[in-house]
Amino acid sequence: KNQVEQSPQSLIILEGKNCTLQCNYTVSPFSNLRWYKQDTGRGPVSLTIMTFSENTKSNGRYTATLDADTKQSSLHITASQLSDSASYICVERGYGGSQGNLIFGKGTKLSVKP
Amino acid sequence: ETGVTQSPTHLIKTRGQQVTLRCSSQSGHNTVSWYQQALGQGPQFIFQYYREEENGRGNFPPRFSGLQFPNYSSELNVNALLLGDSALYLCASSLPQGSTDTQYFGPGTRLTVL
């Protein structure tokens, strides 16, 4: 069972609109939570990393929130642009040595239409 | 662009063959991780190399093996290819900075097994 669940699976919005993507995680103990953007056929690019003590972090038009009590995170995209069309992947890291503790969700595929 | 390069971009093999994928890490990064990403799925951790030594391995059989060279570039070798090995193979380089170190992904190698 995937320990990082994302919703929705896919989303279509009009250019200029806002949207929010959701992530629920179950991995414990928790170290940090990351959001990545992955363009089709490309490698993921890091957007934000939040530790247990942080509940919000912004990167331009992207704002991630974290609720460690409910084990939920969201990624809010403001004033969407056509270039925002991509998959957005939620990643949790548990405690431990190697990057093998990164657990990736399946992603939300966002399409921004003109 | 992250500075991480992978070769080849695309590759087609038949069942039972062997394949070698290559990754050049970002300048100064001594850690390389490899991931397998099946269509519509999030990346799955294969293994990580730190200073030429394997530093963690995911749930992949021994026919997946790797190397890291003194210049920190890396290879992923897969023997006895199966149809299910068809996927995008991603490498990511990083500098160990505790649990919040950022991984920089390459563009990936698309492997198709016929």
In this prediction, residue A51 carries a pLDDT of 87
Question: So what's the pLDDT on residue B111?
Answer: 97
Residue-level pLDDT at B25: 92
Q: What is the C-alpha separation between B16 and A107, in angstroms, rounded?
A: 31
What percentage of residues in chain B have a pLDDT greater than 90? 75
In this predicted structure, the answer to whether residue A3 has a pLDDT above a threshold of 80 is yes
Quick check: B24 pLDDT over 60?
A: yes
Chain B residue numbers touching A93 (CB-CB < 8 A): 99
pLDDT of residue B90: 96
The predicted-structure confidence for A54-77, as pLDDT tens digits, reads as follows 899 999 999 999 998 899 999 999
Interface test with B, best of A49, A98, A106 (most B CBs within 10 A): A98
Range list of β-strands (E), B16-61: 19-24, 31-37, 44-50, 53-57
Number of Cβ within 10 Å of residue B16's Cβ equals: 10
Q: What is the pLDDT of residue A95?
A: 63
Q: Per residue in B27-46, is it b (16+ CB within 10 Å) or e — as a string?
A: eebebbbbbbbeeeebbbbb
- The whole-chain average pLDDT of chain A stands at 90
Residue A99 has pLDDT above 60, yes or no: no
Contact criterion met (CB < 8 Å) for A95 and B99 = yes
Buried b or exposed e, range B73-90, using 16+ CB within 10 angstroms: bbbbebeebeeebbbbbb
Digit-coded pLDDT (tens) for A6-54: 999 999 999 999 999 999 998 777 778 999 999 988 899 999 999 888 8
- Would you call A100 and B58 a contact, using CB atoms and an 8 Å cutoff? yes
Closest to B99 (Cβ–Cβ): which among A42, A45, A93?
A93
The pLDDT value given to residue A7: 96
Chain A partners of B40 at a C-beta cutoff of 8 Å?
A: 106
pLDDT in tens, B96-109: 766 667 889 999 99
pLDDT at residue number B32? 93
E strand map for chain B: 5-7, 10-13, 19-24, 31-37, 44-50, 53-57, 64-68, 74-78, 87-94, 104-105, 109-113
Q: In this predicted structure, what is the pLDDT of residue B99?
A: 65
Q: Under an 8 A CB cutoff, do B100 and A105 touch?
A: no
Q: How far apart are CA A75 and CA A86, in angstroms?
A: 13
